[in-house]
Amino acid sequence: MLFQQVIISSHPFGVVSNKKKQSFSPQCKIVINAAIINIFNAIWLARNNVSKLSTYSIRDFITLQSFNVISHPPIPTILKEVIWQPPLAHWVKCNTDGASTASSSACGGIFRNNKAEFLCGFAENIGLSSALIVELYGAMNAIEIAASKNWRNLWLETDSILVVMAFKSPQLVPWFLSNRWNNCILSTLSMNFIVSLTILLYGMRFPRLLEIMLRQIDLGNPTLGLYIAS
């Protein structure tokens, strides 16, 4: 091969072997040249494996970008653009969502810091209920978990405009949730609290991890599942 010939002829061992033919036996020269070619081949293969690295870690992505390594993640079957705005330093952001069907309903949420690192997550099967109820459950669970962890800077993001309005108009909350909702409102008074609507693009409303958690919960077991960052 042309590549192998260039490597062999340009390598110092090749020059030495040409000038001092008696220093190395023919078999030794073949072994040395083969070792050099194998080293370059191993480096090239390692470089290709790194460039094809697919990872969900932002830290790994930043590291690869700092070395100008172009990553080539696998092409998904459905491409959806997601816009997630990180919170300020020392703040915790929670994205919540709910889903309701004719047979069951569930809600879930994900807590992340300003570096987009996963802090905590939850998913709960509520049973047969409306979309508003499951969205309210998601917001209340987020506030209660943040209060239990003593997080004093909380940004709650939901895709339900009624939930956002309920923070200023508690009469929108059904009567059987009013006590719990009022307790959550009192908890937000002791912290720096922001509530906003999720940015919607191409139907993608929340991080992929939340969707996975909602699918994995036991629909026949109406309990709250809590996921803690390891």
* Nearest-10 Cα torsion for 224, 177, 104, 155: -60
Question: What is this structure's pTM?
Answer: 0.56
What distance in Å separates the CA atoms of residue 209 and residue 174, rounded to the nearest whole number?
30
Whether the CB-CB separation of 128 and 156 falls below 8 Å is answered with no
Query: What phi and psi values does residue 63 have, to the nearest 5 degrees?
Result: -65, -45
pLDDT in tens, 96-145: 999 888 888 999 999 999 998 999 999 998 888 898 999 999 999 999 99
pLDDT for 144 equals 96
113 CA to centre of own chain: 12
Domains of the chain: 2-66 (no CATH), 92-228 (3.30.420.10)
Whether the CB-CB separation of 197 and 156 falls below 8 Å is answered with no
pLDDT in tens, 60-77: 667 777 777 776 666 666
Taking CA atoms, 161 is separated from 34, 98, 169, 172, 197, in Å, by: 68, 13, 12, 11, 7
Q: Which residue has the tokens 């696998």?
A: 74
Whether the CB-CB separation of 64 and 71 falls below 8 Å is answered with yes
Query: How many percent of the chain have pLDDT more than 70?
Result: 63
